[in-house]
Structure 1
């Protein structure tokens, strides 16, 4: 393999040479050999590793990308693949949740009385937190923002989340994952509650759909780069 300088790797991605060195020191790139004077000697394997790592960041985020590369360099391919599988599982979950919200919006606009089809039953704060895989503190923050308005049990004073709260919580969870601020989510939820215009909700869902599609494409690109790097490093 031909030798490369840190600047050669950095120039391809528009990053600094220090960033390349930092990635190596963190274990995201394989350890480079040194010249007698201490300069790093990079190869095509390092260039492929850097392409894979940066592609993984776009697809899975910094933490997961780093963990995948560390697993590979620790000769634990199964761990790396498991981390990738988890990312795909989360993306599938988001797609299914988005589809469910779209169905709810369809019910909202199609029902003669303007009321969407709602879940049944009530939940405690702990039960709802477990359902959404968030903390009770998160639900209380959503309540403070006006997203949730749970009733209180007359006997105990504990929160009880009814069908409307369950729907609003599911919607808030989806939009929060899409990066929307609590104030924006509260406004969308208010529109759904009032069974008025769903234009803002439709716009938010379309944006989230585009984000999921882009993430799916990023995952394809990351898989291709990672496969190339794995093939090179296995030689």
Structure 2
């Protein structure tokens, strides 16, 4: 089936490019990168593609939203080199990462449900705490807390006599939130304005909205992984069980 599919039609680079909203140079680049099978050449050296190349391109473009460009390219190269087990391993890794992200989100939501002043009191003893005890409670390094301070995530005051950083209950709350969001993959520059909103609002409503967006992004990735798998499966069927090449 695969060989018959490859030979029944010839496509020019421009045909492949226009059908997918790409430039002809992008198509050539994908071929050179191994994302597409190698094209046949005419007697004058012009590339000719087939519907098999179109299927490969559709598969790659469908894989990108769920896996990212680099992993999608690696999957296609593995398939085109006949290393399907490596392609499946890469796909499994992306699914495992999505599962891990879902678990992290649930952990963040669970932490937020339990987050209240009592947690801060455990660290600060109902008053204030210093950088060492807080770092130990969060299982991070003091240097991490200092980096968060530079990013505006936490704002401890300084002891007037010793110059030591002093974290009150609100600071401990902010540090706990930052810690959970970092585990969820948020960057410091994303966390800082969110923490500022929490401070200004005096509550966690902005964070709850962010978690809703996070749910949506994970759902989109899950659907994208399914779409990519469907197109890749089509391409694998068209290539045939022997992994036929598009070279003529």
Alignment partner, residue 36 of structure 2: 29
The change in CA–CA distance for 1:10 and 1:62 in structure 2 (over 3 A counts) is same
| Count of equivalent residues | 212
Alignment partner, residue 169 of structure 1: 179
Q: Does 1:202 align with 2:208?
A: yes
What runs of 5+ residues in structure 2 fail to find an aligned partner? 1-6, 124-132, 158-163, 165-170, 242-248
Secondary structure of the corresponding residue to residue 55 of structure 2: helix
Distance 1:34 1:219 in 2: 34
Q: TM-score, normalized by length of structure 1?
A: 0.76
Q: Does 1:128 align with 2:140?
A: yes
Distance 1:143 1:188 in 2: 14
Give yes or no for contact 2:194–2:207 (8 Å, CA) kept in 1.
Answer: yes
Shift of 1:187: 3.3
Shift of 1:197: 2.2
The change in CA–CA distance for 1:79 and 1:40 in structure 2 (over 3 A counts) is same
Alignment partner, residue 246 of structure 2: none
Higher relative contact order, structure no. (Cα contacts within 8 Å, ≥ 6 residues apart): 2
Please tell me whether Structure 1 or Structure 2 has the larger radius of gyration of its CA atoms. Answer: 2
Secondary structure of the corresponding residue to residue 176 of structure 1: coil
| 1:96-154, Cα deviation, whole Å (9 max, x unpaired) | 1111222223234xxxxx43758988656xx638xxxxxx9877543421225799xxx
> Structure 2 residue aligned with 1:90, among 75, 97, 107?
97
Alignment partner, residue 25 of structure 2: 18
Alignment partner, residue 240 of structure 2: 234
Q: TM-score, normalized by length of structure 2?
A: 0.72
Give yes or no for contact 1:104–1:117 (8 Å, CA) kept in 2.
Answer: no
